[in-house]
Amino acid sequence: MVDKPSGWTSHDVVARCRRLLGTRKVGHSGTLDPMATGVLVLGVGRATRLLNFLGGLPKTYEAEIRLGVETDSLDADGTVTATHDMAAPTEAQVAAAAADLTGDLMQVPPMVSAIKIDGQRLHERARRGEVVDRPPRPVTVRRFDVSATDDPMVWRATVECSAGTYVRVLAADLGAALGGGAHLGALRRTAVGPFALDDAVALDDVAPEALLPPSAIDRVMASVEVDAATAVDVGHGKVLGRDRMGLPDEAGGPWAVLDGAGALLAVYEPHRGATVKPAFVLS
């Protein structure tokens, strides 16, 4: 995992890591905007396929929200589109507005997002000056805590949210709820599910020895340890009985399958009847 620096696109980080690690097989589990910093989860080599199991993980962010100014990108990298002569809100007012933006919401994706509509990414259409209707999408904001700074028009926020939530939209909606507008001044992703900044390294420090082992996937799914004979069959990608894997009949999966030394062999998922099948085999 990389602690992405500001000014780099996620694609830039992947390209840099390919050079540092000497492999073309590098991918990431979720884009961070160029302005944003923080946790960018990467997959390297055959482990890139493990990224498929990480896409839906919740995210945690630290943000800076600037009231009174709107931009076309909803963040500090954009062009100012409106200013508002807003009175400085009280902490109670900001907290109440943030509370109204907590829970299950329908959120309209910003024009600068990578979502495709009619086969074209929104940010590509935005660069051409287009604005298109975007259907709202369900998101969940589990936490939206705000705190004051020395500037009464700048607020810090901690956001815990579902995958697919746009913090920049939360910032804009907060400004609107307070009687004006706002944009995102800064954004730092501090966690992707159980993967946090403590696991991340600076981009220049990326090296094979800095990578988490593939077995770290057991942070997001149940794991099962198998004996040596079963490990051989797992390595061959065989469909196996739940009893042989030591899995109860009602277990739902997927499961990280580990050998006796704790190394990842595969990820298995439910199959027909009392059997399970490989979704991914590392060898």
204 in catalytic set: no
Distance (Å) of CA 180 to CA 138, 156, 257: 24, 18, 53
Nearest Cα residue to 51 out of 222, 262, 251, 279: 279
The upper half-sphere exposure of residue 280, i.e. CA atoms within 13 Å in the direction of its Cβ, equals 22
- Give the DSSP per-residue string, 195-251: EEGGG-EEGGG--GGGSPPGGGGGGSSEEEE--HHHHHHHHTT--EEHHHHT--TT-
In the set 3, 33, 72, 75, the catalytic residue is 33
> Which ranges in 22-72 belong to alpha helices (H)?
none
Question: Is-contact 201 3, C-beta < 8 A?
Answer: yes
Distance (Å) of CA 83 to CA 40, 68, 70, 130, 154: 33, 6, 6, 22, 14
Residue 102: partners with Cβ closer than 8 Å, 6 or more residues away: 141, 142, 143, 144
Task: Cite the active site residues.
Answer: 33
